Amino acid sequence: MQIFGVDIGGSGIKGAPVDLDRGELAQERHKVLTPHPATPEGVAGCVAEVIGAFSWKGPVGVTFPGVVTGGVTRSAANVDKAWVGTDAAALLSRELDGLPVAVLNDADAAGVAEMTYGAGRGRGGTVILLTLGTGIGSALFTDGQLVPNSELGHLELKGHDAETRASVKAKEDGELTWERWAHRLQKYLAHVEMLFSPDLFILGGGVSRKPEKFLPLIQGIRAEIVPAKLQNDAGIVGAAMAARDLARRAG
């Protein structure tokens, strides 16, 4: 079964048809830059451009970098504030000529994909996936069940949103060495561990392609720490899973 997934990020919007029997992209993904400002209308147009590259006519799953409830976006940390309170599912469906659209938090999508096909498959207990990129997204699971919209990247760390200290963007903006960035990430993981006592951390986002650069530098964390297996495709796969579920509910 193939379903289309789109992952909206702070810097790029990417998507592809997904083979949900295998949990991987069925074709090479298409990516466009996130518009600035990243208004609802501007982003919706870019989503349509990504899907149009494949002439897709079917259910679509779309991730969003913020809290999503019932298809409505409730926060907007790395996109335009006009998203707050927007019925994103309805907006995107209109932009896509009426195609059914499922919208969910980007890290939740990545987490569901990793728990189904990747590093979290078959794992019980408390599992936390963290997507490290423009910000820090999180997906929290207890015995395989998702607790949606956890948004742990916005925990306070040294008086700031944690993602402003330990995201990949913070590393790049501050021109931090891997050692200095790993030290910040370690402090963040220790804070999350104190609050939730997870059995497993899964670290995703583009940086998961380079675990040897930073994972050996992280010390003193009790929980097991592993890189995401689906790497930066996890959000697309999870979005497609949400679209499949939407189609099934619709009959």
Domain of 60: which CATH number? Answer: 3.30.420.40
CB 11 within 8 A of CB 168: no
- The pLDDT of residue 250 is 85
The residues pairing with 141 across neighbouring beta strands, listed in sequence order, are 127, 146
- Check whether residue 238 and residue 217 sit in a common domain: no
CB 83 within 8 A of CB 40: yes
Per the structure, the complete domain to which residue 182 belongs is given by 121-228
- Check whether residue 219 and residue 243 sit in a common domain: no
For tokens 């997870």, what's the residue?
A: 198
- The pLDDT of residue 77 is 81
* Number of compact structural domains in the chain: 2
Q: Give the residue ranges of the chain where pLDDT is below 50.
A: none
- The pLDDT of residue 251 is 74
- The pLDDT of residue 150 is 97
- The pLDDT of residue 80 is 95
3-state secondary structure the chain: CEEEEEEECCCEEEEEEEECCCCEECCCCEEEECCCCCCHHHHHHHHHHHHHCCCCCCCEEEEECCCEECCEECCCCCCCHHHCCEEHHHHHHHHCCCCCEEEEEHHHHHHHHHHHHCCCCCCCCEEEEEEECCCEEEEEEECCEEECCCCHHHCEECCEECHHHHCHHHHHHCCCCHHHHHHHHHHHHHHHHHHHCCCEEEEECHHHHCHHHHHHHCCCCCCEEEECCCHHHHHHHHHHHHHHHHHHHCC
- Check whether residue 100 and residue 136 sit in a common domain: no
- The pLDDT of residue 155 is 96
Structure confidence by residue, pLDDT tens digits, 2-48: 999 999 998 899 999 999 999 999 999 999 999 999 999 999 999 99
Does 195 reside within a domain? yes
Ramachandran angles phi, psi of 184, nearest 5°: -65, -45
- The pLDDT of residue 69 is 97
- The pLDDT of residue 206 is 85
- Check whether residue 130 and residue 216 sit in a common domain: yes
